[in-house]
Amino acid sequence: MIGLIRVFTANDNEVVQAHGKRIQEQFHIPVLSRSIPDQPLGIYDDETERIAIPKIVELGVRMEQEGCRAIIISCAADPAVNELRSRVTVPVIGGGSAAAHVARSLGLPVGVMGITEGVPPVMRDILGDLVVGYRRPEGVTNTTDLMTEQGRSMALEAAKSLVSQGARAIVFACTGLATIGFAETLRKELKVPVIDTVESEGLMAANYYRQAGAF
């Protein structure tokens, strides 16, 4: 079983399970999804990340104790990845680094979309000079904004802007874009590869899970 940590608080269990459900359907591996408490707007700046880190670590330690063989932190900023790795014996996969490595493997100029002021440092370090631009959709300041029609519309405009700058692929620096299934929208509209954070973290987890079963 893979443990998946959502870094925002949701009362709707369907929302909590959304990333894990996608990974289960795409990669056919079991996923246990949990969310951290008391952060209804998730992580969107340095302060909210600081507050979230001990919650993520506590939850990750508990999930290992419950039998998870790997843990995904489903957030493009990779919050608490290093801190949790120092506390558990199983692999810890960050959404941002997973997506950035997939994008890097394509070798194409990429446009990055997210909800923070700039590209998350962990993604910027991996992508390096492949990045041709970054866009935060107008009016979107946290993950819940993406769940509105206005948020989706502005996200589409942001992606189009990146392509006009020379991006030949789009990479998500926000798992909220995966929550709303935005990758398929962009693939149809823009005809370019779209690296979805949740798909990328699921790919890494599935590869490990199947390899671990061999020994």
Q: Are residues 191 and 112 in the same domain?
A: yes
Q: 113: which residues sit within 8 A by CB, 6+ positions away?
A: 134, 135, 136, 137, 155, 158, 159, 162, 170, 171, 172, 173, 174, 177
Q: Which domain, by its residues, includes 170?
A: 97-197
Q: Are residues 120 and 77 in the same domain?
A: no
Q: Are residues 132 and 192 in the same domain?
A: yes
Work out how many domains the chain is built from and give that number: 2
Rounded Cα gap, residues 96 and 83, in angstroms: 16
User: Is 167 a residue whose pLDDT tops 50?
Assistant: yes
SS (H, E, C) the chain: CEEEEECCCCCCHHHHHHHHHHHHHHHCCCEEEEECCCCCCCCCCHHHHHHHHHHHHHHHHHHHHCCCCEEEEECCCCCCHHHHHCCCCCCEEEHHHHHHHHHHHHCCCEEEEECCCCCCHHHHHHHHHHEEEEECCCCCCCHHHHHCHHHHHHHHHHHHHHHHCCCCEEEEECCHHHHCCHHHHHHHHHCCCEECHHHHHHHHHHHHHHHHCCC
Range of lowest pLDDT (25-34, 118-127, 179-188): 179-188
Q: Are residues 79 and 170 in the same domain?
A: no
Rounded Cα gap, residues 60 and 205, in angstroms: 15
Q: Are residues 173 and 131 in the same domain?
A: yes
- Residue 151 has a pLDDT of 81
* For range 57-66, the mean pLDDT: 97
Mean of the per-residue pLDDT values of the chain: 92
Quick: pLDDT tens for 88-98: 999 999 999 99
- Residue 165 has a pLDDT of 95
Q: Are residues 192 and 135 in the same domain?
A: yes
Q: Are residues 81 and 129 in the same domain?
A: no
- Residue 8 has a pLDDT of 87
- Residue 79 has a pLDDT of 96
Q: Are residues 76 and 143 in the same domain?
A: no
User: Is 197 a residue whose pLDDT tops 90?
Assistant: yes
Distances 164 to 13, 46, 103, 171 between C-alpha atoms, Å: 38, 30, 19, 15
- Residue 147 has a pLDDT of 75
- Residue 74 has a pLDDT of 96
* For range 25-42, the mean pLDDT: 93
Quick: pLDDT tens for 117-131: 899 999 999 999 999
User: Is 3 a residue whose pLDDT tops 60?
Assistant: yes
Report pTM: 0.91
- Give the max Cα distance, the chain: 49
Q: How confident is the model at residue 215 (pLDDT cuts 50, 70, 90)?
A: very low
Q: Are residues 102 and 74 in the same domain?
A: no
Q: How confident is the model at residue 207 (pLDDT cuts 50, 70, 90)?
A: very high
* For range 158-184, the mean pLDDT: 92
| Closest to 200 (Cα-Cα) out of 16, 2, 17, 26 | 26
CB-facing half-sphere around the CA of 134: CA atoms within 13 A: 17
- Here the CATH number for the domain that contains residue 143 is 3.40.50.1860
* For range 17-25, the mean pLDDT: 94
Burial class (CB in 10 A: 0-12, 13-18, 19+), 61: middle
Quick: pLDDT tens for 62-79: 999 999 999 999 999 999
Q: Are residues 86 and 109 in the same domain?
A: no
Q: Are residues 135 and 187 in the same domain?
A: yes
Q: Are residues 22 and 90 in the same domain?
A: yes
* For range 99-107, the mean pLDDT: 97
- Beta bridge partners of residue 169, listed in sequence order: 110
User: Is 214 a residue whose pLDDT tops 60?
Assistant: no
